[in-house]
């Protein structure tokens, strides 16, 4: 059964710092991994989707990498801003997780203070 | 274009009443998912619809929960005889293309409070 862990659970940083959020998964036979952000009281916003054949994806100040063999993905946020404050979730789809049913981590709660 | 929409945004009900939650997916998206997010918890998968195939109901927690979808359009999640433990945010997501490779897009959720 696929298990997804996100570390740290919470992070508070000053504006301008470069950040790394971690997502690890137990079964490396994945189809893809998707990163989301969730603002308080809101739904999830898709940030990046990395298919298993890819090593990384970039969108603006965000870069997500995938290392299947070690069961890890990292989300890199460059030059953080207060507007980046949110909970960041990763979700993995794998055969052991039910193929089309994503397994979600608990998220990393990020606060960027001015 | 328009994203996934859900209604109502908030619902307060009394224990024992039935509730119906609605999800309007992005036009053309063949896949639709329902999730539950309890306070401080991760997302729990509830049910998955793909086109006209039989839905995957493996995540529904009890027979009080049911969901319908008409073709590739609107879906409704019904909870009968609500209990306090049903209080949560119910999220809907839609996707185009074939699972498991498709990208999910989420609605804003319905916050359900059972008194």
The answer to whether A83 touches A64, Cβ cutoff 8 Å, is no
How far off is chain B from A58, nearest CA to CA, in Å?
15
Tell me whether residues B107 and A43 touch, CB distance under 8 A: yes
User: Residue B1: which pLDDT band, with cuts at 50, 70 and 90?
Assistant: low
A89 and B43 within 8 Å at the Cβ level: the answer is yes
Q: What is the pLDDT of residues A33-79, one digit of tens each?
A: 999 999 988 889 999 999 999 999 999 999 999 999 999 999 999 99
Chain B (22-81) residues lying within 8 Å, Cβ to Cβ, of chain A: 31, 33, 41-43, 45, 48, 50, 56, 58-59
In this predicted model, what pLDDT tens digit does every residue of B15-68 receive, in sequence order?
A: 999 999 999 999 989 899 999 999 878 899 999 998 888 899 999 999 999 999
Please list every residue in chain A whose beta carbon sits closer than 8 Å to the beta carbon of residue B109.
42-43
Interface contact A43-B106, CB threshold 8 A: yes
pLDDT at A99: 66
For residue B96, the model assigns a pLDDT of 83
With beta carbons under 8 A apart, name residues in chain B contacting A98: 45, 56, 58
pLDDT at position B53 is: 86
The pLDDT of residue B112 is above 90: yes
Which of the four pLDDT bands, split at 50, 70 and 90, describes residue A97? Answer: low
A70 touches B: beta carbon within 8 Å = no
Chain B: nearest CA to A19, how far in angstroms? 22
What mean pLDDT value characterizes chain A?
A: 93
Cβ distance of A41 and B111 shorter than 8 Å: yes
Tell me whether strands B104-106 and B110-114 are parallel, antiparallel or unpaired: unpaired
Contact between B51 and B25 (Cβ < 8 Å): no
According to DSSP, residue B51 is labeled: T
DSSP chain B: ----EEE-SEEEE-TT--EEEEEEPPTT--EEEEEEE-TTS-EEEEEEEETTSPPB-TT--STTEEEEE-TTS-EEEEE-S--GGG-EEEEEEEE-SSTTTPPEEE---EEEEE-
Per-residue pLDDT for A1 more than 60?
A: yes
Nearest residue to B33 via CA among B10, B85, B25? B25
Nearest chain B residue (CA) to A93: B100
Predicted local distance difference test score (pLDDT) of residue B6: 97
- The answer to whether the CB atoms of B109 and A106 lie below 8 A apart is no
């Amino acid at each position: 059964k696929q298990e997804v862990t996100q570390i740290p659970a919470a992070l508070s940083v000053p504006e301008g710092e470069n950040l790394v959020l971690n997502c690890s998964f137990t079964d490396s036979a994945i189809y893809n991994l998707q990163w989301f952000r969730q603002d308080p009281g809101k739904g999830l916003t898709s940030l990046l989707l990395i298919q298993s054949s890819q090593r990384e994806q970039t969108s603006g100040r965000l870069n997500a990498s995938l290392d299947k063999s070690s069961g890890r993905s990292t989300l890199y946020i460059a030059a953080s801003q207060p507007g980046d404050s949110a909970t960041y979730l990763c979700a993995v789809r794998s055969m052991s997780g039910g193929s089309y049913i994503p397994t979600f981590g608990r998220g990393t709660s990020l606060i960027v203070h001015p | 274009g328009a994203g996934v929409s859900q209604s109502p945004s908030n619902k307060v009900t009394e224990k024992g009443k039935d509730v119906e939650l609605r999800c309007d997916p992005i036009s053309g998206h063949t896949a639709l998912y329902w999730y539950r997010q309890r306070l401080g918890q991760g997302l729990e998968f509830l049910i998955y619809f793909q086109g006209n195939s039989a839905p995957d109901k493996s995540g529904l927690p009890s027979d009080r929960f049911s969901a319908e979808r008409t073709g590739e359009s609107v879906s409704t999640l019904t909870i009968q005889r609500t209990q306090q433990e049903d209080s949560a945010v119910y999220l809907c997501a839609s996707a185009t293309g074939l699972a498991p490779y498709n990208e999910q897009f989420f609605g804003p959720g319905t916050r359900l409070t059972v008194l």
